[in-house]
Structure 1
Amino acid sequence: MAITASAFAGHNGPAMEGGRGAVAAISVPLPGPVAHHRLLAPVHPLWGPSRNLRRRTGRQPCLRAAAGIDRRERPVVAQQESSATIMSIEIIELAQAERFQPVGHHGVGPVHLFGGERYEGAVTVALSHYLPGGQADLSPVPAETLYIVLSGTLTLTDADGSAHALNALDGARLTAGTPRSVENLTNLPASMLVIRPNPAARVTSEPEARS
């Protein structure tokens, strides 16, 4: 197929300077008695048909339409509302731990790693040092309690008199109200962590807790 193009005057007058308003004549050989069929299409030398289309119809040229892109198919990005959650890290060094003396403890030197009057965390952690012969009298624990022995050996006794020796890295869980006594029956000091819920913790509403 032979194609030839030449510039002719536009529909409304002669060709403007720079080729504006020009019409491309494209000759396409066709079979039959007609030797050639002339196809006329408004063509701009730089912008193609869209520039002349604006001159004839008054519409703004659309490169997206010329490229075959449907404006209705633009991707829609959904904006999700994210709830801001305040996160923080609190560091407590052993030198900053607060000493305290619980009732019914003898020969025991506990310190609060996390706890005290101004503490608002949900969980308290105390480090208790038991001297040889040190003990905590038989009494119910005020809340669910975890014991984790760090060094030495401590003897945990329940209300029935059953004794359980806890060595280093052994642990025990006591439900709220369980009577117990703790004693160091060895000649070496022993230390353990005591972990409980904080009764003075700030109450958090359910929607805020889920955020």
Structure 2
Amino acid sequence: MSYKITRKNEAYTYEAPGHFDVRTTRLHDAKDVNQGGITMGLSHFLPGGGCNYGANAKETVYYIVEGQMYLESEVGTPDEIKTTLYAGDSYHCGPNTKKSVLNTGTTSCQMLVVLITPPQE
């Protein structure tokens, strides 16, 4: 068994492709524990900040800690394909799901992002 504790001063920033007006902070890398299945970060989106429509190869969970985020996804009910997530709301999608987010609020949005690498078959 292995583990990793990340103290708040140990998180690091990085550039995320397709993102704009955001500070992305990595809390855990997939390689940190065991065979490396989970990556987690806290993203700070300025008003008007977001991520372009596209997909990644990982299962994804977004949790809105503070603020709001407009979400557009290729899957869901008509009310869910284009919706706004508020503090306390979350979104979970499978690998290769196209989606985008945009902070349409007037304050910054803090969004916890969890990426899960699919098991190797």
Structure 2 length-normalised TM: 0.83
Deviation string, structure 1 residues 39-66 (Cα, Å, up to 9, x no partner): xxxxxxxxxxxxxxxxxxxxxxxxxxxx
Q: Which has the higher strand share?
A: 2
Aligned AA for 1:119? D
| Aligned equivalent of 2:19 | 105
Structure 1 residue 93 corresponds to structure 2 residue 7? yes
Matches within 5 A, 1:99-178: 99-115=13-29, 119-120=32-33, 121-159=36-74, 162-178=81-97
CA contact 1:141–1:180 (8 Å) conserved in 2? no
Q: Give the deviation of 1:142 after TM superposition.
A: 2.0
| Aligned equivalent of 1:27 | none
Aligned residues: 114
Matches within 5 A, 1:1-211: 87-115=1-29, 119-120=32-33, 121-159=36-74, 162-198=81-117
Deviation string, structure 1 residues 117-139 (Cα, Å, up to 9, x no partner): x6353211111110000010000
Counterpart-to-counterpart distance in 2, 1:89 and 1:181 = 32
Q: Which has the higher helix share?
A: 1
| Aligned equivalent of 1:39 | none
**Identity across aligned pairs (percent)?**
29
The structure with more radius of gyration = 1
DSSP 3-state at the match of 2:9: helix
Q: Give the deviation of 1:99 after TM superposition.
A: 0.8
CA contact 1:98–1:113 (8 Å) conserved in 2? yes
Aligned AA for 1:171? S
Counterpart-to-counterpart distance in 1, 2:32 and 2:5 = 13
Larger RCO (CA under 8 A, 6+ residues apart): 2
CA contact 2:58–2:94 (8 Å) conserved in 1? yes
